[in-house]
A and B are shown apart, each in its own frame.
Chain A
């Protein structure tokens, strides 16, 4: 394959400055809403003593997932020999770094005491998944960064070596993130050994979906040539990942629902959980997985770029629903002190809790997307991230 030439964007047009101004304003919403939460206390959010984790945690695991997916995609050319993806290696690695930065912001700014940012550097708890993940996320950022750096060098060895390291650590990061929930053995909807691998599967599908949309938008906005066959190939890859997600979801829910002690948890999620059940079946299964799978595997729609973009957007939204129904319903369900007794108390024991996303959490979440987009816009101006053109290998003369 011919060498891919990368070039910075000029970034002098009025459109560029307008784009960056809007992205910057959106990005500013994240720290500003975090400041508002810190100054007033978390009572301004939808989070309570019944549901202590809300949208910030949903966003964190969503962004971590997309990041891991992007990094693996980036490594496709150097590690798995899929040379047609070489033009995207830098963009994908850059996105992976920006997404993990936004995810870390999501986590830290949601602490009750974000001013204690240095505490985790001095106190470590090896049994805590959070503690282990702090090391994993930082190592991941570092390896991702070195891997991106290697993309600017000619050395195939370093590209491959760092690519392999990046893939391993991406798998570790996402297993660790899944384990944050999977290891919580007191809540039936969390406790599952399948959470770490199913997190990875959803990370790959959503990471691919994000890449498809970002690549299309970037090449179009910069007026550079992008062979759409490349996108269609990525669409089929996304389809395979989505089938794996479906498989894990099926196994996880059937296994959970088989045990009588889990009847209530399983039926809450799948049958009578109101908005959570709707999110599961309509948001995740139907819109996030089944419809996009049908689109990408159908020979005519699978080769149509507008259909593919639609399928990718659906998949991205579907995984956001997936992250939401992983984090929230397990906390909404009452903790069971006795298996055979009905319980009530002033602390709302025995009752299903309520959680709705507050305006400040909406601002926080949208702001995090802004951070990624702003960082991307900035990086492509200062570094040569985008190829001058991306062609399918057989078309390269």
Chain B
């Protein structure tokens, strides 16, 4: 039995180390990091200006971020999508449309459930995924109420004409709208907003919610701006007019 016990103890010691390691190594999940808390980026979308057939924001997002396209609708990846909706229980209700994406919540459930803090919120409110840290457990997809996240379930090939600023990713991680953070950091607007202004209805307004003089904070201060599923208490930073 002595040999058995020694073996047991050896394995036990290794397991003990494995148990304690996460707790002591644990730079406990940081809720906010990077960027400047002087800014709080947000968006307002006026759906009265959104043509159901227009896909300017959707096309621009795919191009800017090299969002892969898979033919199967249930596997395809969407950083932004056009949603069509009708009032329930109203005969001949008008069909309307709006773009939906990650709403960069103040209290993002995706970041709260991520076991490795691969999803985190920057100090300027942008919710990001560290794709080098994501383990692909997909808990965030289950926890997000807005269906803003997609899992890359196939190999992604390089395509001609792709944007060199947006890296091609390997399958096995989750991705979503990052508000074109690389453009924001260069002082530009997200690609969807720019495209909406150029070729769409111009219903998307992006800006600093912390700046009282910005157009976006002016609209948000008015009582007309609403949030999707405000009842959940997540305080999304994308607001809508006319829903």
Q: Which residues of A are at the interface with B, using a C-beta cutoff of 8 A?
A: 38, 40-43, 47-50, 52-53, 107, 110-114, 116, 119-131, 134-135, 138-139, 141-142, 145-146, 148-149, 152, 180, 184-187, 190, 331, 335-338, 340-349, 353-354, 382-383
Contact = CB atoms under 8 A, between A and B. Distances in A.
B44 interface: no
A332 B15 CA distance: 37
A355 to B, nearest CB: 10
B113 A129 contact: yes
B151 A112 contact: yes
B25 A124 contact: yes
A381 to B, nearest CB: 13
A131 B27 CA distance: 13
A111 B100 CA distance: 27
Contacts of B144: 186
B4 A383 contact: yes
A175 B118 CA distance: 25
Interface string B9-34: 10110011011011101111100000
Contacts of A342: 85-88
A185 to B, nearest CB: 7
Contact of B87 (A47, A126, A341): A341
A113 B173 contact: yes
A149 B8 contact: yes
B143 A41 contact: no
B147 interface: yes
Interface stretch (B129-137, B179-187, B190-198, B215-223): B129-137
Interface stretch (B35-43, B75-83, B160-168, B206-214): B75-83
26 contacts: A40-B154, A42-B151, A43-B72, A43-B153, A48-B74, A111-B135, A112-B136, A113-B136, A120-B116, A123-B116, A123-B118, A123-B133, A124-B25, A124-B27, A124-B116, A125-B115, A125-B117, A145-B11, A335-B147, A337-B146, A343-B84, A343-B85, A345-B84, A346-B76, A346-B82, A348-B73
B201 interface: no
B137 A347 contact: no
In the A-B complex, the 9 residue pairs with the closest CB atoms: A112-B136, A112-B172, A124-B26, A125-B29, A130-B115, A186-B145, A138-B19, A48-B74, A52-B138
